[in-house]
A = this chain, B = another copy of it.
Amino acid sequence: MTDWYVENYRDEMTYGIAVKERIFDSQSDFQRVEIFEAVRFGRTLVIDGIFMTSERDEFLYHEMIVHPALCTAKSIARVLIIGGGDGGTAREVLRHPEVEKVLMVEIDGMVVDVCKKYMPALGAWDDPRLEVRIADGIAYMLDNDDPPWDVIILDGTDPVGPGEGLFNAAFYRTVKERLAPGGVFALQSESPILDDVFFEIQDTLREIFGHVHPYFGPVPLYSAGVWSWTYATDDADPMAIVDERATRVEAHSKTYNREMHRAAFALPQYAKKRPG
């Protein structure tokens, strides 16, 4: 008998993965955290019943949330990650030797602990440039004396539960204030075809940033066919790829390359305006 773990989207769609072994299941202070060994996806992280990432397909998400920003920001010495508790985003950031300091502010220590223990390949936890702080990202943004950041990455869950406050104009404004000149704010911005949240995020970002560029890619574990991230900036250019940085990334990446970088920013007709 196959053991299925099934995610249910609004009682409209389900997505299930066959599970070899249920490895971890606990309620943290914020959310339910589960880890499975899946037949197809390897070790898989699930939060509050929603698939987050897996060993097999995590590169499709982590390379794409990181490298468009990291290959184009004016400087990439200082990078702030809000969320990102599984470690994959920090790992991709740290592939750039120009990065001197990465601060990850993750609200849920349990996510970091279990990913370190059960999905160690996702992280680069021993890199001395990485500081992990278990704290509320919103509170951190409102009250800190850190110098500005060259790139700020918001790698959060969906805009429900602890992630909700990370998807509004007040939070985006604190991000903009902490960004260095030539800096980039990159965030996961939900599926462009699943519902209207994608369009709401774009509208809100446009109130704050001079240039807002959504971009797209597949993430099989998110059963929508296509996922989006957004590149928001006042003065960086998402097409101004620094070849030296991209060449280094391409030596190890599984999806990202310069062609894919440029292609990801192509907007389908349905994304050019909010559906009626």
Contacts and interface: CB of A to CB of B under 8 A. Distances in A.
A175 to B, nearest CB: 28
A271 B180 CA distance: 36
B254 A260 contact: no
Contacts of A17: 12-14
A266 B193 CA distance: 21
Contacts of A6: 14, 16
In the complex, which of the residues A224, A264, A266 has the most CB atoms of chain B within 10 Å of its own CB atom? A266
Q: What is the count of identical protomers in the complex?
A: 2
Interface residues of A, number: 43
Contacts of A221: 225
Interface string A231-261: 0000000000000000000100111110110
A161 interface: no
Contact of A14 (B4, B60, B193, B256): B4
Interface of A: 2, 4, 6, 11-18, 39-40, 57, 60, 193, 216, 218-226, 250, 253-257, 259-260, 262-270
